[in-house]
């Protein structure tokens, strides 16, 4: 009877040893890595306002910083005024002459019609007088020439009235439309440059660092804020060549880290196609065990905030 507890303890130890071995066999060392987003402006300028601090979590579209933008604001106002002028000129040439100008042409036409009617009546009288021998041939010729001249003037003024009602020639309209399009492009460019002086967060994330202080001059393209969106957190670990066939994209793994309240689930997203370490010997059955391959896994967005770049982790395959 006294040997039963000892036998039971021996069986329990034997049962635990394979479990521990299996746990050690599928556990690999790795570390947390962050794909940081470096945010700056395409325009240079003095840093006017820094709206975030290091360690702060910001929402998408939250303001991060702004540069001085007086020149860009003035350029935008100028471009908008030039666009308004170009559009007004296009409208003017599309509608033809103004109504008062048309009225002047009509009055001139009415006067010319009256002169032509008078000259026509005078020609009729002179023709009768010439037939009766009352006037010389030269006087009749003068009357006929005056009647022809006044009639021609009526025709010319009639054409002017019709032209005054028409818009400008099609070539002039096309040219002015091009001027309007160029002015619109100038406004868009000025607006874009102004917008570049105010930068917002492209996504929710942790402000990992700020690289300039307010009042400092920032060259174009220099990053000012470095943020880490949770979807950019990943884990890199190294697995031996012997388990390479088991490492497939979307396979589940478990991440264990010191200080974590619980293990973090993740999924494999990438498996390197090349060995990270090659021994300086000819491949053999013994040396192949020294080959390791880099594997990347990503936790969910909700769990990513539990991990920190540079943090060592243990990875267990599921």
Shared domain check, 202 and 65: yes
Shared domain check, 64 and 121: no
C-alpha distances out from residue 65 to 36, 42, 186, Å: 17, 13, 25
Shared domain check, 240 and 216: no
- Can you list the positions of beta strands (E) in the chain? 27-34, 37-40, 45-50, 57-58, 63-67, 198-200, 205-210, 217-218, 223-228, 233-240, 252-256, 264-275, 292-299, 312-317
- Whether residue 1 is contained in a domain is answered as no
Residue 46: give the domain boundaries.
37-69+195-228
pLDDT 10s digits, 188-240: 999 999 999 999 999 999 999 999 999 999 999 999 999 999 999 999 999 88
pLDDT 10s digits, 253-295: 999 998 888 999 999 999 998 887 655 545 555 555 678 899 9
Whether residue 13 is predicted with pLDDT greater than 60 in this model: the reply is no
- Whether residue 112 is contained in a domain is answered as yes
Number of domains in the chain: 3
- Whether residue 174 is contained in a domain is answered as yes
C-alpha distances out from residue 291 to 97, 244, 245, 294, 309, Å: 87, 10, 14, 10, 25
Angle between helices 70-94 and 170-195 in degrees, nearest 10: 160
Shared domain check, 276 and 265: yes
Shared domain check, 217 and 186: no
Higher pLDDT, 197 or 131: 197
- Whether residue 11 is contained in a domain is answered as no
Shared domain check, 64 and 210: yes
Confidence label for 76 from pLDDT (cuts 50, 70 and 90): very high
CATH number of domain containing 286: 2.40.30.170
What angle (nearest 5°) sits at the alpha carbon of residue 207, between those of residues 206 and 210?
165
Shared domain check, 200 and 170: no
Shared domain check, 42 and 31: no
What angle (nearest 5°) sits at the alpha carbon of residue 138, between those of residues 136 and 142?
125
Q: Residue 32: phi, psi to the nearest 5?
A: -85, 140
C-alpha distances out from residue 253 to 23, 27, 76, 237, 309, Å: 13, 10, 54, 11, 18
Shared domain check, 280 and 139: no
Shared domain check, 237 and 220: no
By three-state DSSP, how is residue 234 classified? strand
Q: How far apart are CA 53 and CA 225, in angstroms?
A: 9
CATH number of domain containing 199: 2.40.50.100
């Amino acid at each position: 009877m006294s040997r039963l507890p000892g036998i039971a303890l021996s069986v329990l130890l034997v049962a635990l040893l394979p479990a521990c071995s299996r746990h050690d066999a599928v556990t690999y060392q790795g570390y947390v890595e962050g794909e940081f987003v470096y945010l700056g402006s395409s325009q240079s300028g003095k840093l006017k306002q820094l709206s975030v601090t290091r360690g702060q979590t910001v929402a998408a579209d939250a303001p991060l910083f702004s540069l001085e933008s007086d020149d860009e604001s003035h350029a935008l106002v100028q471009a908008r005024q030039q666009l308004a002028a170009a559009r007004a000129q296009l409208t003017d040439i599309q509608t033809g002459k103004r109504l008062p100008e048309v009225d002047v042409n009509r009055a001139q036409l009415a006067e010319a019609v009256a002169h032509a009617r008078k000259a026509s009546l005078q020609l009729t009288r002179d023709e009768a007088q010439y037939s009766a021998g009352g006037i010389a041939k030269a006087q009749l010729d003068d009357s006929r020439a005056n009647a022809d001249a006044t009639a021609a003037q009526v025709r010319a003024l009639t054409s002017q009235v019709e032209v005054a009602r028409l818009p400008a020639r099609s070539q002039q309209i096309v040219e002015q439309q091009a001027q309007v399009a160029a002015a619109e492009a100038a406004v868009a460019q000025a607006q874009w440059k102004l917008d570049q002086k105010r930068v917002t967060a492209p996504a929710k994330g942790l402000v990992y660092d700020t690289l300039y202080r307010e009042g400092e001059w920032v060259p174009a393209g220099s990053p000012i804020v470095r943020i880490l969106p949770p979807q950019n957190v990943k884990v890199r670990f190294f697995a031996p060549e012997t388990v390479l066939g088991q490492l497939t994209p979307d396979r589940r793994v478990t991440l264990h880290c010191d200080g974590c309240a619980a293990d973090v689930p993740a999924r494999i997203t990438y498996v390197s196609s090349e060995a990270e370490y090659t021994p300086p010997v000819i491949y053999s059955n013994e040396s192949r065990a020294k080959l390791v391959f880099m594997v990347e896994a990503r936790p969910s967005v909700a769990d990513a905030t539990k991990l920190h770049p540079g943090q060592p982790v243990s990875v267990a395959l599921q």
